[in-house]
């Protein structure tokens, strides 16, 4: 059987709309969290590398 495409999109998503939007929201928040973690890790690595290049200094200025 071929399934026809409904003209009204909201009718097609009536029961699953909240679940789909929640999935999209969780996906976006996951991507944002990974981006923040990546930037923090990059800064930490940069700080550690600059300290290792200058022996005797614990805090880079």
User: Domain ranges in the chain?
Assistant: 35-61
CA distance 48 to 61: 13
Q: What is the pTM (predicted TM-score) of this model?
A: 0.57
CA distances from 15 to 5, 20, 24, 26, 52 (A): 16, 10, 16, 19, 57
* Mean pLDDT, range 13-23, rounded to an integer: 78
Q: Which two tokens stand for residue 27?
A: 């996906």
CA distances from 10 to 5, 40, 53 (A): 12, 41, 60
Between 30 and 20, the higher pLDDT residue: 30
pLDDT at 22 over 70: yes
pLDDT number for residue 9: 64
């Amino acid at each position: 059987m071929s399934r026809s495409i409904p003209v009204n999109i909201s009718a097609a998503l009536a029961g699953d709309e909240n679940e789909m939007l929640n999935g999209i929201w969780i996906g976006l928040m996951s991507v944002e969290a990974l981006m923040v973690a990546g930037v923090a890790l990059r800064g930490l690595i940069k700080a550690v590398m600059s300290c290792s290049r200058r022996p005797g200094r614990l805090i880079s200025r």
